[in-house]
């Protein structure tokens, strides 16, 4: 057999993940807030990008001069009306201390402030600060008292004494070492402590969580009604009191990426692109680029890269807007009955169905709906909310959304007789009467996903 080296040409198609394509995919996944921040960064870094200013075609030079004159008069009037140093004879504006509050105190600051009010010796202050510093965000003490005594250099009795003082602070239950102690501290503060409540908390918390009222009643030799009343009281307590002051300043805003409004019987889809600026190419730099001999080769290469990046960014933003509009328009057309009457008419929908309708890849639909929110007449929803699996109906080939069935299950349980709650089998029969073909096991799975207790745990005595 003869071996030779040959050179030949061959055509083949490949999909290359270029930096521009990566940028377009990243922009498609961004929410409105993320895209606004990204555009602001690009405006600062790329000299070819410029924010387009909205101009009124009816404005002329005379109107600009009048506007400037009006603004100047308003500024002069503003400065003349300001209280500078408090001139004699002038009325002083009453100041409110509420205007000087910068932020809500953290849990550590809140406890430290209370500690300064009650401590009488420097040693108590040192022990108290060490204990407060060892309390986590939920309000629980995360350090052994013997360790505190060895670190501070004092007796265990002294540490326990200071801990009792801290456990009397607000929020009630703070400084506890476990859930049982936390609940007992709150009962003591509210004056609801009783021997039976203490025994239930100390010995039957697991049965209480699972709703085993009869088992607790049998163990304590009291009636089920008494146990139920005590359990209702315990459920009103806060298992994590420290969260009242944790992350108080981390406010998360949800800005809708799409708005849906009904105008004259028709749903209108509007992509929210009002918050980020309109981008254009800077004309000054564009004219400079037309002078090839004005710059050295390195500078020219830099300007060409920035020019290409600016053009691709503008195209990617427009492509994102069109893709998001097509996906939202498709969802609105399919889920129009949901927009009219609510979740009970939500239709089953998959990413593949939307992708086939708007003629894009399924991954594109997934990226376009990730971390995006839509404002509808039924409320604010994530775009992913409208995608759900299908369950067979008793009416031939018609399908029912799994989320609609969960709503039905929740509604059935909410309207049941508390003294005789419905079992999963009974709920299945009710759903079958509503032309929903579903098994008891599926009903149990949906109930658990919604954190709803079984029938015996829901029973009221």
| 36-75 per-residue burial string, b: 16 or more CB within 10 A, e: under 16 | eebbeeeeeebbbbbeeeeeeeeeeeeeeeeeeeeeeeee
Structure tokens, 3: 């071996």
Beta bridge partners of 262: 267
- Give the pLDDT score at 202: 93
Please list the rounded mean pLDDT of every run of 10 residues in the chain (461 residues). 73 74 86 88 87 60 53 49 44 53 78 91 92 93 92 90 93 93 94 92 91 91 92 92 74 83 91 84 78 73 84 91 94 93 89 93 91 92 90 70 91 92 92 88 92 88 83
- Give the pLDDT score at 298: 79
d(CA 126, CA 113): 14
- Give the pLDDT score at 165: 93
Each domain of the chain, given as residue ranges in start order, spans 107-244, 258-386, 390-458
Q: Which residues contact 155 (CB under 8 A, 6 or more apart)?
A: 149
Beta bridge partners of 261: 268
Q: Where are the alpha helices (DSSP H) in 174-275?
A: 179-189, 195-203, 205-209, 213-220, 224-235
- Give the pLDDT score at 292: 65
**What CATH architecture applies to the domain 390-458?**
Orthogonal Bundle (1.10)
Q: Which residues contact 330 (CB under 8 A, 6 or more apart)?
A: 354, 357, 358
């Amino acid at each position: 057999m003869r071996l030779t080296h040959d050179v030949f040409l061959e055509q083949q198609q490949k999909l290359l993940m270029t930096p521009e394509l990566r940028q377009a995919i990243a922009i498609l996944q961004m929410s409105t807030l993320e895209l606004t921040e990204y555009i602001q960064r690009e405006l600062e870094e790329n000299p070819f990008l410029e924010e387009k200013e909205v101009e009124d075609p009816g404005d002329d030079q005379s109107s600009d001069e009048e506007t400037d004159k009006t603004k100047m008069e308003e500024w002069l009037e503003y400065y003349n009306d300001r209280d500078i140093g408090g001139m004699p004879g002038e009325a002083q504006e009453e100041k409110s201390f509420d205007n000087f509050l910068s932020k809500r105190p953290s849990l550590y600051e809140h406890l430290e402030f209370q500690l300064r009010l009650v401590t009488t010796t420097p040693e108590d202050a040192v022990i108290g600060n060490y204990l407060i510093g060892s309390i986590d965000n939920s309000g629980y003490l995360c350090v052994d008292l013997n360790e505190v005594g060895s670190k501070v250099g004092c007796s265990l009795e002294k540490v326990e004494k200071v801990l009792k003082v801290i456990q009397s602070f607000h929020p009630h239950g703070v400084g506890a070492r476990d859930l049982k102690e936390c609940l007992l501290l709150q009962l003591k503060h509210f004056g609801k402590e009783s021997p039976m409540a203490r025994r239930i908390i100390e010995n039957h918390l697991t049965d209480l969580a699972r709703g085993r009222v009869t088992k607790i009643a049998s163990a304590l030799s009291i009636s089920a009604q008494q146990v139920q009343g005590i359990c209702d009281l315990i459920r009103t307590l806060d298992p994590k009191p420290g969260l009242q002051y944790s992350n108080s300043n981390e406010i998360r805003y949800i800005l809708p990426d799409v708005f849906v409004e009904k105008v004259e019987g028709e749903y209108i889809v509007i992509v929210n692109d009002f918050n980020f600026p309109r981008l254009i190419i800077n004309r000054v730099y564009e004219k400079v680029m037309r002078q090839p001999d004005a710059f050295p080769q390195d500078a020219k290469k830099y300007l060409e890269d920035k020019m290409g990046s600016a053009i691709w960014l503008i195209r990617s933003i427009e492509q994102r807007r069109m893709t998001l509009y097509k996906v939202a328009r498709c969802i609105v057309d399919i889920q129009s009955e949901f927009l009219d009457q609510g979740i009970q008419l939500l239709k089953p929908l998959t990413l593949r169905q939307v992708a086939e309708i708007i003629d894009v890849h399924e991954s594109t639909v997934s990226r376009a709906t990730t971390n995006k929110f839509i404002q509808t007449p039924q409320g604010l929803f994530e775009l992913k909310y409208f995608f759900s699996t299908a369950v067979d109906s008793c009416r031939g080939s018609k399908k029912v959304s799994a989320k609609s069935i969960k709503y039905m299950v929740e509604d059935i349980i909410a309207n049941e007789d508390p003294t005789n709650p419905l079992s999963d089998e009974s709920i299945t029969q009710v759903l079958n009467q509503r032309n929903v073909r579903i098994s008891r096991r599926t009903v149990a799975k949906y109930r658990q996903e919604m954190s709803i207790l079984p029938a015996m745990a829901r029973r009221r005595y």
